[in-house]
Structure formats: structure tokens, C-alpha cells
Structure 1
Amino acid sequence: MTTLLIALGSMILYLIAYNTYGKWLGQKIFKLDPNTKPPSIELEDGNDYVPTKKGIVFGHHFTSIAGTGPIVGPALAVIWGWVPALLWVLFGSIFIGAVHDFGALVVSMRNKGKTVGDIAGSVINPRVRFLFLLILFLALTIVLAIFGLVIASVFKQYEAAIIPCLIQIPLAIIIGLFVHRKGANILIPSLIALAIMYLSVAYGDVGVLHDWNHHMGEKWSPLTWCSLLLIYSYVASVLPVWTLLQPRDYINSLQLISALALVVIGLVVAGLWGGAPVEGIRPPLEIAAPAIEENVSLKQLPLIFPFLFITIACGAISGFHCLVSSGTSSKQLRCETDAQFVGYGSMLTEGFLAVLVILACIAGLGLGVHLENGTTLLGLDAWNSKYLTWSTSSGLGAKVGAFVEGSSNFLTAMGLSTTFAKALMGVFVASFAATTLDTACRLQRYVVQELATCFDSKKESTASATKNPLSILKNKHGATIFAIIVAFGMAALPGKPGAAYGTGGLILWPLFGAVNQLLGGLAFLVILFWMRNRGLSTWFVMIPAVFMLALPAWAMLYQIFVASIGSETSWIENGRWLLVSIGLTTIILEIWMIAEALMAWRKLSNQDEALIEGVTE
């Protein structure tokens, strides 16, 4: 019953937050105006700036920001205990994450759909724009290098998910072309596509399809998957958004939200009647994990503060979201008032997803973990089989596996087969990762193009500008190709000595949490200055900004010089020089950017004082 109450209470809390705090931000602080012409209409170009219904933008935005972040992070963080993980997800998403996403979306819409990195130049100073864009480039390169490996890992574990995920691409293109050319409503064709996708989950691993799945899952190397996924990302990035990005994300959102609904229904069934029968008895749904883990040394846990707050990124707050808000969604909203639904609402939806992940791992696992020898573990034994120590539970496969098994136990409680349930949850995880990958590639294209303009000389003639080798990076094809080549270079490396080529994302994985959260703090800084320049109240942005600038920097410096996560030695002692160099570079850029911001803030304060003195005289 506790599990059910947590799920129900979280849902109610999020609804209250959306209709109170979110509404207050939209109406009283940002003063959203339905009559203001948004960038999608003012700059409509049929490619990036496309006026779109808020339901479709919500689908794109939610699936892009979610990815595997709200699955992988919470699935690992519960090892510290489910109470701290749950509290950070609930209150972090309401007061920090949703404010961050909503603020970045509004600020971008009020600045012609520019990215937060570009806006930093106008609200602080041009040097900060360049610094921010460099950090964005680093962060997105890490995302592109890692998420291809995440998808490859999911396909390796759950081969039945491969065909259903591949089918989504042609379906999305057909729907995009049909809706754009015929002007038809997207809902009906999307529902048909949704039905086809569920049929592909049910029958996509039968007969010859099973052989294909097995061949691709077993025989294709991580390098092969990374190559194909980055090529796909290139295509998705340069095509008009209505061709593939929008329809794929929309039908994905329908599938993912319907899958979430099934998980909730399964949770209710398991809570009232127990899980699927084990030896003829339905096990009760109970929380198997400790509320707060006391055996810290036995479990080999890192410090809960600050590492809990970078382990759970998506689900509470994620810096990557500011890129989606200001990079793609702000160019598609056709009405300014839709920003609350898309910006604030999507983050709360992701927070609820993270809550369900926590419940799947702390209670769903307890309904049964099936071992290869035919034994089924229940309750605490099932929990311990996945969370014995930090090192045994911290791998990508272990975290994804804990969620898939726990959530599929909710589905089997409804009478669905184990095979279908695990395939559906595998598709769920891989689809989220794929939408993040193609959106990240499009965002990296914008960042590369903006960086290229930083090297332009105002005095340069048109003829000499054409000879400038960097001018090719202003072109969408040149910028995208550069982005995927850099990402592929990192991803193609072996993740560790003796590992397969294409697992290079594992090298960068320890950086992901800290860099991602630091990006959120820097985005808050831009939002803060934008609001300060307009005389708006800033306290509710100031506090999260300081929190999100300090914690990730602390976590990164701790790993560089003291002890890395899951080890008693630091990155320097372990000779992990790539992590040390990228980590220190990021910290230096952060300190430089904060110093520039403080000087700009002081200048603004002096101007205010001068203005006040002038008025009083």
C-alpha cells in the first residue's frame, strides 16, 4: 500500500505544483501573452522555425529531455535509500528543474529562438557567449558519444526491442509527409502508428524477425551501432523538423506515455492483488529497499552529498534540457502561453517518470528476479541481487536491467507475458535514448554554427570570408558532419583496455552527471541576468543557480583530486587523463564565466545606483 500511496501522492503533488507555482511563474513573473508573435511565426522558414500545436511540441520536448536519464540516474541512486532519492526527484523537479526548463524556453522565445549560449552574449557579455558555447559543445559531445552506446547496450540485453525501434523511423516519415502535405490532423495517423508499434512489440521477435533481432543484437558490435546511429542522427538533424523529428517524437510520446499508463495500472493491480504468481502464490507488493542505507562502507557508497545530486540529473534537473528548450522547442511553439504546458509540464512529467523508476526498483524488483538456474528471488533477496554493492549496480546494463525487470513485474501482474513486458520496457528505454540522440545532434549543429560565427571578423570582406575554412561550419551540413565526426572519434575508442571499439562512451560516462548539472547552473545564470535586466524578481532563480553551480563543481573536483565514484582513488591517481583534462577545462570555463558574470552584475548595480541618484537629485 505504501508504494501505491507514493505513486498517487506524487501525481497529486505534481498537479498542484503545475496549477499553482507553474501558473504563478507564467502569469505573474514571465507574463506570457497569447497575442505576442512567437519566433516560430515571426521567423518561419519551414525547416527549424515551424509553428506547431502544443501537443506535438510537448511530445517532441518530453521525449527529447527524458532520454534514459530519468531511468539510469534514479535506478542507481536508490542504493543510498529510496527516501533521499524520492525527495530530490519530487522537490528538485518542482522548484529547480521545471523552473530551469520553463525559464530557458521563455527567454529563448523572447530572443527570437536563440540558444541560451547565444543569449548569454547579449545579457552578460560577448566573452561569456563564447565560453558558454564551448561548454555546450563539450556537454553535447559527451551526450552524442554516450547515448549511441546506451542504445547498443539496450539492444544487446533486449534483442526483441530492435525491430520495434527501427519500425518507428519509416512510420514517422510517412506521418510527417502526410500531415504536412495534406494538412491533416496528426492524432488519427499517430494512433494508427501507435497500434502498429504495439503490434511490432508483440510480433517483432517471431520467426525470421527473431533471427534478424538476434543477428543485430549478438553480431553487431557497439562500433557498428554507434556508426549507424550517428548517421541516422545526421539525417534527422538536417531534415526539416516536420519530416522526422516532430512526428517521430510525437508517436514516441504516445507510446511512452501509454507504456507509463500501463506501468501505473500494473502497479495498482500489484498493490491490490500482488504480483504474478510464483509457485502458485501472488507475492505482495512491498518496498524491499531500505529507506536510508546505513551500510555505507559495506556497499562501498560514495558521499551522498554531493553525488546523489549529480547521479539523479534528469528527473530532478538536467542542464541538457535548456538546450532542448532554447534549441528546438522555442522555434516551434505557435503561442507564447503554451510555454507553461511544454516547459514546466514536461519536466513534471519526467519527474513522475523518475518516481515510477524508483518504485519499480525498490518494490517492483521484490515481486521476482528470475535467475538463470530457474530460481526466483523475492523481496529483500531480489533487491540485494541487483544492489549488493555500488560496483555491481553502477554499470549501464545493471541500471537499465533493474528498471526493466522491476517495471515488467508490474505488467506481468496484469497477466501480460514476461516476454512482451520485457520487450515493451526495452523499447521504452531505447526509444527515449534515440530521441535524445537525434535532438542532441540537431542542437550540436546549432552550437557549432554559433561558435563558427564567433571567429568572424567584422572587417572581413565577403571574398575573404568565403576562403575562411571555418565558414563551412556555418552551413547546416558542415556543422552537423563536424559534430558527428568529433562524437564518433570519442565513441569509437575502447572504453577500457581490452574492451571493444565503440565503447568509448564509457570513458566519458563519469563526466556526464557533473557536466550536465553544471550546465543547468550556467543556464540559470543566463536566465537570472535576463530577468535582472528587466527588473523582475529573481530570488527563485538565484537560489537554484548557486546550488547548481556549487554542487557539480564540488563533485567534479572531488573526483579529480580526492576519490572518484566507486573508487578510493582520484582520476589523477588512476591516470584517467582524458577525464582530468575535460573536467579541469570545464571547471576553468565555469570559473571564468562566473567571474565575467559577477563583473557584469556589479556594473548593473552601479548603473542602478547612478540612476537612483540622478532621480533623487
Structure 2
Amino acid sequence: MGGVMIILFGVAGLAFGWFVYSRFIAEKIYQLDPDFQTPAHELSDGVDYVPTNKYVLWGHHFTSVAGAAPIVGPAIAVYWGWLPALLWVVFGTIFFAGVHDMGALWASTRNKGKSIGALSENVIGKRTRSLFLIVIFLLLLMVNAVFGVVIANGFVGTPGSVFPAWMAIAVALVIGQLLRRNYSLMLLTAAGVAILYFSIWAGTFIEISLPDSLFGLAPSANWIIILFIYAAIASMLPVWVLLQPRDFINGMQLIVGLILLYGAVLLTMPDMVAPAFNTQTAEGTPSIFPLLFVTIACGAISGFHGIVASGTSSKQLDKETDARFVGYLGAVGEGSLALITIVAVCTVAYAASPDQWHTLYAEFSDGGAPAFVAGGAALIGTSWPGISEGFAQVLLATMVALFAGTTMDSGVRLQRYIIQEWGDIYGIKLFKSGLAATIVAVVACLLLAFGAGGSSGAGGMIIWPLFGATNQILASLTLLVITVMLIKMGRPSFYTLIPMIFVLITSFLAGMLQLVSFYNEGNYLLVFLDFVVLVVSVLVMLEAASVVSKLKKDQAASESAS
């Protein structure tokens, strides 16, 4: 089969999701109200609560939730075959991710911008809130520590991506100031993207590398420290100064990148060399069920999206009706990135023949971001006149670095929010300070990075195997909160309940399989953490079941009395 047919199928599905299904969910289920006063207006403080143009907010939300995950997950999962990955990406985006992301944004907006963990107290109970916040903090710790490694390795492996990655920050700072002075968004977008792409071109000539040994650390370890210093500063700045404009420009840059990639497929019409179902898997390959549904998280559904939606995005929502554009369309953007990733690593652009593809994908862990960069660069370089494969490689490597960087920006800010919420909940005065909470968040990440990983700073990779199942369990718990909220409001809950049950079952089974695997490997740290996450999810479900049962009894009593 040709890559064009896969693209057409995927785009048609995503278009249905945006134009039809999302409108139904927004109007009939969440019943988004344009007159509802959002937290951005009610609690406006010019720092975190800032009413924001929906296009700018979409850019922030999209690039914050995307990171490198919608690239890495699909690029690994195609090992089982491109067809299962394709179906999960398309249908997962339509019926799971979009509903989840828009729902988390709506639920938080209706509760003064509280995080999904904090608002669970209002919906389910205090014990649920405490359990929720533990899982969220653990997930953010993993994401921040690992994405620091991803960016650092990208800078070391592709020195040409360093200059444009930091140049994007300078451009964002200028655009943030100009937007506050009411300059044209369209004009600033065009100028910002043009400068960013010029810096990517310049990066092919300006390669920046750190010394082989600085302060006794390798280049990647020093980059990790630099990145966390930057993330700490960025997380304390008002969102309009850097977070919003940087994420928006990165979002526009991604759109251009997607146009180049999708256009390349239409121009070259590459054949698929990977099998629809891989029957030549290596011994010891994990089962496709349930592991497919946690390997591809971002790009289908991801609990991290709920943290961002209820953490930063809900505090910037100008109108409640913007939740559809920001939340659901953000999920569609991720799905489109995951879709093109599948094509990039499964066609002749990446491997000349089926045999070569099987050589490149000899093990389950093969693939990932390097495969996307190599396959995508080959697609662009062989189809677009005037664009060399070398430039395309720098472009895509920069895209990965920028995405991971914006996720780190938001991730550290979100950790700060969680710590400040702990300060409010438990009366810890120190934690209420934004500076102190940020320091605690960054120190926790660095302790994981260097405490567990030694001088390499790669300690986050040690607990990263927990991410897939933990992330999807969190997605199911977020859907649970939304479902209970809908039941309390007397609205249909079927459209969130079914995705919640499916994601919970698959992620819980994946967590159980990993628990056994970690135990057999003698990795008792991961055994303990995995066990904690599984127990927490069960306890939250029991709490929710108790609340729903009480609601049903109260409704029945009310009906019988009337």
C-alpha cells in the first residue's frame, strides 16, 4: 500500500473528529457557554491567569502537550505493524484524546482553573485529591527529567539544532512584548516563523558544542543543568512574556513542518515497506495487547494532556467555547503528527526494501525520534526543490528539541503549581511561594537526574519505563473525574465513560505486566513505584464508585418522593 492512502484515511478521520464529533461533544455534552466567566477573567493576575487569544493559546497548549512523545511512541509501536498503530492513532484521537483534552479544560475552567488533581476533591473527595496529586507529581518528575535528556542528547547529536533552539527563545521574548502592545498577530507570526526558519538554515553552518569535559561533566550533563536553569526562570515569568509566544511560534513552525512532510508524501507517493502486521518479531517482544495502547500515548490519548489543560491552559482561556478549539484541535494536531510519523518510518524514505526495514527494526525498542528525523528528512529532501536532506534533518531535529523544550517549560511550571497546591492544602507556608516551589520542583528533577543517573544526568531514564502505563492510568482517572462531574450535572456520561473504561483496562493490564517484568529483572524500585500507581488507581476508582452509587441512590429517592 502507498503512504498516500494512509494519509487520506487518517486525514479524513481527523476531519470527521473536528468538524462533526467535537461539535457534538462541545454543544450536547459539555455544553460550552460563551457567557461563562472563565478563571482567566475572574482571577486575572497578569502572571498565570491571563485571558488569551484562542490561536495563541492553541499554540501554547499544542506544543506543551506534544513534546517528543507523538513522534517517539508511534515510531516504536510500528514494530508490531503500521496498521494497528494507524488505527489507534486515528480512532484514539477522535473518540479518546479530543474528548479527554477538551473535557479536562472544561472541567478545570468550571472550577476556577484548578488542576485535575485538586478539582477531584470537589468532584469525588479529599482522599482522591491526595492520591491524584501523587501520581501527577510522579508523572511530571519523569517527563521533565527525561525530556531534559532528550533535548541534551539532541544538542550533542545534532549541534546545528542548538542555535535555532535558543534563537526561538529570543524571538518569543520580542513577540511577547509586541503582542502586549497590540501589534498584528498575523504580521508577528509571519516574521517570527521566517526568523525561526532562517535560524534553522543558519544552524547548518553554526554548530554549537560544549567542551568534552566541563566541571567534570560530559556535554549532555551540562546541557541538562543549563536546560533546568532556563526552565526554572521561564516557569516564573508571566505566561505572556515567554510561554505563550514561544509555544505559539513553535506551533506555527510545526504547521510548516507538517505541510512539508504531508506535501512530500503527496509529491513522491512513497510505498510502504513495513508490514501491516509484523510476523517477524524478535523473541521476547512484548504482546501488542495491551502494550500498544500505552506505547502510543500522545497521539492517541495521554494523561499528561489533562495536566496541561487543567494546569496552564485553563488559566488562559478567554471564552469557555474556546475549549473546543484549544483542547480538541490540539489533540487533532498531535494525531496528525503521529500519523505522518508512521508514514515517515514505514516507507521507502526510511528503508529501501522490506528486508532493510526489518534490519533497522530488529528489536522492539528500535525506531524512535532518530527514525523519524531520518525518514522525514529523506521525504522532504527528495521531494521539495531547494531543500536539502541535511537542512531537513536540522529542521526536524530542531522541531523535536523545541517540542521537548516547550514541554519542559510547562512541566516545571506545572510542578510549581502542584507544590503550591500542596502548600495551600497542608498549610506549608514555604510551598506557597512561587520561587520556593520552583526551586523544590527543579531540585527534585535534578536529584532524580543526577542522584539516580550519576554524572550522566540520565537518571530520569531509570524510571521512564513506568511512564506509559502511569500516563494512561492518569488519563483514565481524568476521564473518571469528568464522567462523575457529568453525572452530577445530569448530563450524558456515555461518551467519557466508555473511553475511561477502555483506557483503564488496557493501562492497568500493562502496569501489571510491567510489574511482573520489573520483579523478574530484580528492579525493585520500579516494582515499588509501579505497585504504588496501581494501588492508587484502584483506590480512586473505589472512591468514585462510592460517589456514583450515592448519587444514584439520591436520584432514585428523589424520583420516588416526587
Structure 1 and Structure 2 fold alike (TM over 0.5): yes
- Flag the 1:215–1:268 CA change in 2: closer, same or farther, 3 A: farther
Match of 2:199 in 1: 200
Match in the other structure for 1:411: 380
Cα distance between partner residues in 2 of 1:368 and 1:244: 36
Give the alignment of 1:102-251 within 5 angstroms. 102-180=102-180, 182-206=181-205, 209-210=206-207, 212-213=208-209, 215=211, 220-251=218-249
Deviations 1:427-472 (A, max 9, x none): 011111111111111111111111222223xxxxxxxxxxxxx311
Aligned partner of 1:97 in structure 2 is 97
> How do residues 573-588 of structure 1 correspond to structure 2 at under 5 angstroms?
573-588=520-535
Q: CA deviation at 1:303?
A: 0.5
* 2:515 maps to 1:560: yes
Q: What does 1:506-585 align with in structure 2 at a 5 Å threshold?
A: 506-561=461-516, 570-585=517-532
1:596 is aligned to 2:543: yes
1:440 aligns with 2:411: yes
Deviation at 1:299?
A: 5.4
- Measured in 1, the distance between the counterparts of 2:504 and 2:540 equals 11
Corresponding residue to 2:447 among 485, 489, 492 = 489
Aligned CA distance change for structure 1 residues 546 and 216 (closer, same or farther; 3 Å) = farther
Helix, strand or coil for the counterpart of 2:318?
coil
Q: Deviations over 1:107-150 (max 9, x none)?
A: 11111111111110011111111111111111111111111011
Equivalent residues in 2 for 1:267-286, closer than 5 Å: 267-271=265-269, 285-286=270-271
Q: TM-score, normalised by structure 1?
A: 0.88
Where in structure 2 are the equivalents of 1:436-515 lying within 5 Å? 436-456=407-427, 470-493=428-451, 495=453, 500-515=455-470
Deviations 1:519-558 (A, max 9, x none): 1011011101111110000011111111222221211121
Secondary structure in structure 2 of the residue aligned to 1:246: helix
Give the conservation status (yes or no) of the 8 Å contact 2:193–2:249: yes
Cα offset, 1:215, TM superposition: 4.9
Distance 1:217 1:343, change over 3 A: farther
CA distance in 1, matches of 2:221, 2:114: 34
Matches within 5 A, 1:59-74: 59-74=59-74
Q: Which whole-Å CA distance do the structure 1 matches of 2:523 and 2:62 have between them?
A: 35
Name the SS for the 2:368 alignment partner. helix
> What corresponds to 1:372 in structure 2?
none
Q: 1: CA distance between counterparts of 2:353 and 2:165?
A: 33
- SS of equivalent to 1:572: helix
Contact conserved, 2:373 with 2:397, CA < 8 A, in 1? yes
Q: State the one-letter code of the partner of 2:261.
A: V
Residues 164 and 199, structure 2, Cα contact 8 Å, conserved in 1:
yes
Write the distance in 2 (CA, Å) between the matches of 1:213 and 1:269: 36
Query: What 5-or-longer segments of structure 1 have no aligned partner?
Result: 272-284, 370-377, 457-469, 562-569
Q: Deviations over 1:166-210 (max 9, x none)?
A: 111111111112222x2222331232121111111112232xx33
Q: Distance in 2 between matches of 1:574 and 1:300?
A: 13
2:362 maps to a residue whose letter is L
AA of the residue aligned to 1:516: N
Q: Distance in 2 between matches of 1:216 and 1:99?
A: 47
Report the CA distance between 1:34 and its aligned residue: 1.6
Q: Report how far residue 384 of structure 1 moved.
A: 2.4
For residues 254 and 412 of structure 1, the distance between their equivalents in structure 2, rounded to whole angstroms, comes to 21
- Name the structure 2 match of 1:76: 76
User: 2:53 is matched with which residue?
Assistant: 53
Pair 217,320 (structure 1): closer, same or farther in 2 beyond 3 Å: farther
Which amino acid is the alignment partner of residue 248 of structure 2? Y
Percent identical pairs in the alignment equals: 40
Judge conservation of contact 1:494–1:500 (CA < 8 Å) in 2: no
Residue 13 of structure 1 and its aligned partner are, at CA, apart by 1.9
Q: CA deviation at 1:8?
A: 2.2
Work out the CA distance in 1 between the residues paired with 2:73 and 2:130: 30
- Is the Cα contact below 8 Å between 1:163 and 1:213 reproduced in 2? no
Within 1, Cα distance between the matches of 2:85 and 2:350? 23
Report how far residue 29 of structure 1 moved.
Answer: 1.4
Verify: 1:294 aligned to 2:293, yes or no: no
Distance, in Å, in 2 between the alignment partners of 1:205 and 1:544 is 45
3-state SS in 2 of match to 1:477: helix
CA 1:336–1:217: 2 relative to 1, 3 Å: farther
How far the C-alpha of 1:494 sits from its partner, in A, is 5.4
Q: In 2 relative to 1, CA 589–66 (structure 1 residues): closer, same or farther, beyond 3 Å?
A: same
User: 1:288 is matched by which residue type in structure 2?
Assistant: V
1:343 corresponds in structure 2 to 327
**Aligned alpha-carbon RMSD (Å):** 1.7
Shift of 1:381: 3.7
Q: Please tell me whether the aligned partners of residues 14 and 93 of structure 2 are also in contact (alpha carbons under 8 angstroms).
A: no
Return the letter of the residue paired with 1:36: F
- Whether the 8 Å CA contact 1:64–1:432 is kept in 2: the answer is yes
SS at match of 2:48: coil
Letter aligned with residue 233 of structure 2: V
In the alignment, is the contact (CA less than 8 A) between 1:160 and 1:204 conserved in 2?
yes
> Hey, what's the Cα distance between the residues in 1 that align with 2:377 and 2:9?
22
Q: Specify the code of the residue in structure 2 equivalent to 1:592.
A: L
CA contact (8 A) 1:299 1:390 kept: no
Partners of 1:216 and 1:143 in 2: how far apart? 26
Q: Which amino acid aligns with 2:74?
A: P
Q: Which of 357, 360, 385 is 1:386 aligned to? A: 360
Q: Which amino acid aligns with 1:315?
A: G
- 1:565 is matched with which residue? none
In 1, distance between residues paired with 2:67 and 2:443?
22
Deviation at 1:9, TM superposition (A): 2.5
Partner of 1:374: none
Residue in structure 2 matched with residue 278 of structure 1 by the alignment:
none
Distance 1:217 1:605, change over 3 A: farther
Tell me how many residue pairs correspond in the alignment.
Answer: 558
Match among 265, 283, 288 for residue 304 of structure 1: 288
Task: Check conservation: 1:175, 1:186, Cα contact below 8 A.
Answer: no
CA shift for structure 1 position 214:
6.8
Contact 2:86 2:339 (C-alpha < 8 Å) held by counterparts: yes
For 1:203 and 1:248, how far apart are their aligned partners in 2? 19
Instruction: Determine which of 316, 323, 328 is the counterpart of 1:332.
Output: 316
Check conservation: 2:62, 2:330, Cα contact below 8 A.
yes
**1:606 aligned residue (538, 549, 553):** 553
Match for 1:367 among 338, 349, 364? 349
Query: Scaled by the length of structure 2, what TM-score is found?
Result: 0.96
Tell me by how many angstroms 1:368 deviates.
Answer: 5.3
Q: Distance in 1 between matches of 2:142 and 2:505?
A: 21
- Give unpaired runs (5+ residues) of structure 2: none
